[in-house]
């Protein structure tokens, strides 16, 4: 992707405000994801009495649902319009909140509570896919395809910022009001967002020939596989950091998630234009190296201070991997199929999160919790190698 001409300050501010007004809905969606993320593994493991593998599968069911619903999300954004896709997603979050409340009211029936909770996670995953694709596609349609990296970056700031805020907030809510507060909060936030979006105008649906989802998938796949390998570390951290801390006899796991999210945001705010200046390949390679180092520190950490440093480096590194590879991937599809391209690329991120739960759960069961971060670091290193191969191939062409 060629570097865009520098924008005058006023134009830059105007574009940023437009993007922020749209990714607000991503913030709401990921706040709803972040609130239970640090407490649900403990709820399934301690309150309901299931194993770490079951806890990982329960959290991973959300990501698997997002993955499987990506083709539908892309069709909804391209065919129905971005605003309608987001509205459908917010409605799904509201229902997920109600089901989460029902689940936490049924702790005395562990199997029933778990089943309802999994259904709630599935709905939340589908909603995440609709809102994620809808907001990015809406943002690109509003400010132009030359600002793709900025839209993806701000969308990530909204999502990880929401998780950084939501994780400790969810712990505080449960400490004060019990697990029942989680479902109420999810539904209330979704209804608030639905009220805010009512009068907001959407961009017109782009007319023209559309690529089938799997055709778009094939075009973005080389970059998507690299994203999967890099993102398994994020899925590992968010799913198992609470149980890792408990296993080590430490407290404050939610702050580890906050450290990851805050460093992620700082990296995107400071280096938001790096992709246009340096190119997607250069940024992706540099960031994946930093992420690998961070995951290795979490693996070898002798104390919570070193773990926090590792989480910071992992968040800082992962921050620009998605937009750097995303700019390269989305350039492979026409604007009429932007939603399909975004959905196809996002499948690889979802795949990483869906695999992280059961895969790392099995590793933890047989080798112990520290080794899951060693495996995540090795996978990130493999993704770095693949990006180097893609860069060499691109230069050769």
Is 2 inside a domain boundary?
A: no
More confident residue, 187 or 351: 187
pLDDT per residue as tens digits for the range 227-271: 999 999 888 887 788 888 888 888 878 788 888 878 888 888 888
Give the Cα separation of 236 and 245 in Å (integer): 13
Is 3 inside a domain boundary?
A: no
Return mean pLDDT, the chain: 83
Task: Kindly tell me if the per-residue pLDDT of 393 is higher than 60.
Answer: yes
Give the Cα separation of 293 and 232 in Å (integer): 14
- Chain centroid to Cα 299, Å, comes to 22
Task: Using alpha carbons, select from 239, 234, 299 the residue that is nearest to residue 261.
Answer: 234
Residue 375 phi, psi dihedral angles, 5° rounding? -65, -40
Q: Please tell me the predicted confidence (pLDDT) of residue 25.
A: 92
pLDDT band at 119 (very low <50, low <70, confident <90, very high): very high
Residue 250: domain span: 16-396
Task: Kindly tell me if the per-residue pLDDT of 117 is higher than 60.
Answer: yes
Helices (H), the chain: 9-37, 40-42, 52-68, 70-75, 82-104, 110-143, 148-177, 180-197, 213-248, 253-270, 274-278, 280-300, 304-318, 321-330, 338-367, 370-396
Give the Cα separation of 352 and 345 in Å (integer): 12
Contact 336, 210 (CB under 8 A): yes
More confident residue, 214 or 92: 92
Task: Kindly tell me if the per-residue pLDDT of 204 is higher than 70.
Answer: no
- For residue 282 the two structure tokens come to 């250069």
* Widest pairwise Cα distance in the chain: 63
- For residue 223 the two structure tokens come to 């970059």
More confident residue, 73 or 196: 196
Give the Cα separation of 340 and 73 in Å (integer): 8
Give the Cα separation of 56 and 41 in Å (integer): 7
Give the Cα separation of 293 and 373 in Å (integer): 11
Tokens 């959905």, located at residue? 343
More confident residue, 340 or 151: 151
Give the Cα separation of 205 and 79 in Å (integer): 7
Is 8 inside a domain boundary?
A: no
Is 7 inside a domain boundary?
A: no
Contact 155, 135 (CB under 8 A): yes
Is 245 inside a domain boundary?
A: yes
Look up the pTM and report it. Answer: 0.72
Task: Kindly tell me if the per-residue pLDDT of 150 is higher than 70.
Answer: yes
pLDDT band at 10 (very low <50, low <70, confident <90, very high): very low
Q: What single-letter DSSP state applies at residue 368?
A: -
Rg over alpha carbons for the chain, rounded to the nearest Å, is 20
- For residue 78 the two structure tokens come to 């391209």
Q: Please tell me the predicted confidence (pLDDT) of residue 152.
A: 83
Domain count, the chain: 1
Give the Cα separation of 13 and 34 in Å (integer): 29
Is 98 inside a domain boundary?
A: yes
Read off the pLDDT of each residue in 59-87 and give the average, rounded to a whole number.
81
Q: What is the CATH number of the domain that holds 312?
A: 1.20.1250.20
Contacts of 179 (CB under 8 A, 6+ apart): 39, 43, 47, 104, 107
Instruction: Give the torsion through C-alpha atoms of 83, 86, 90, 96, to 10 deg.
Output: 150
Percent of the chain, pLDDT > 70? 93
pLDDT band at 4 (very low <50, low <70, confident <90, very high): very low
- For residue 83 the two structure tokens come to 């605003």
Contacts of 218 (CB under 8 A, 6+ apart): none
Is the alpha carbon torsion for 65, 71, 74, 79 positive or negative?
Answer: negative
Is 268 inside a domain boundary?
A: yes
Percent of the chain, pLDDT > 90? 25
Is 32 inside a domain boundary?
A: yes
Give the Cα separation of 38 and 89 in Å (integer): 22
């Amino acid at each position: 992707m060629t570097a865009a001409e520098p924008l005058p300050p006023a134009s830059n501010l105007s574009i940023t405000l437009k993007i922020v007004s749209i990714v607000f809905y991503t913030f709401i969606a990921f706040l709803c994801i972040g609130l239970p993320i640090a407490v649900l593994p403990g709820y399934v493991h301690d309150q309901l009495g299931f194993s770490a593998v079951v806890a990982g599968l329960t959290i991973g069911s959300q990501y698997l649902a997002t993955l499987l619903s990506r083709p539908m999300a892309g069709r909804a954004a391209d065919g129905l319009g971005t605003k309608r896709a987001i509205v459908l997603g917010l409605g799904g979050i509201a229902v997920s909140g109600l089901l989460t409340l029902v689940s936490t009211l049924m702790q005395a029936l562990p199997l029933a509570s778990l089943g309802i909770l999994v259904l709630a996670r599935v709905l939340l995953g589908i909603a995440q896919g609709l809102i994620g694709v809808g907001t990015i596609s809406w943002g690109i349609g509003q400010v132009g395809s030359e600002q793709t990296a900025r839209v993806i970056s701000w969308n990530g700031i909204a999502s990880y910022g929401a998780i950084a805020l939501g994780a400790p907030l969810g712990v505080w809510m449960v400490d004060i009001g019990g697990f029942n507060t989680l479902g109420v909060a999810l539904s209330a936030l979704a209804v608030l967002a639905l009220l805010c979006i009512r009068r907001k105008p959407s961009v017109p649906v782009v007319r023209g020939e559309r690529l089938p989802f799997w055709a778009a998938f094939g075009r973005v796949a080389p970059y998507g596989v690299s994203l999967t390998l890099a993102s398994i570390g994020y899925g590992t951290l968010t799913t198992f950091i609470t149980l890792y801390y408990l296993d080590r006899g430490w407290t404050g796991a939610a702050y580890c998630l906050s450290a990851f999210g805050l460093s992620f945001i700082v990296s995107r705010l400071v280096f938001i234009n790096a992709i246009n200046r340096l190119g997607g390949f250069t940024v992706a390679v540099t960031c994946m190296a930093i992420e690998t180092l961070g995951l290795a520190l979490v693996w070898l950490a002798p104390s919570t201070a070193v773990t926090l440093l590792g989480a910071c480096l992992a968040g800082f590194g992962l921050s620009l991997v998605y937009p750097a590879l995303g700019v390269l991937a989305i350039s492979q599809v026409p604007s009429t199929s932007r939603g399909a391209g975004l959905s196809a690329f996002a499948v690889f991120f979802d795949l990483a999160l869906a695999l992280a739960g059961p895969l790392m759960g099995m590793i933890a069961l047989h080798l112990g919790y520290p080794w899951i971060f060693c495996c995540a670091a090795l996978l990130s290193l493999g993704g770095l190698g693949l990006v180097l191969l893609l860069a060499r191939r691109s230069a050769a062409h």
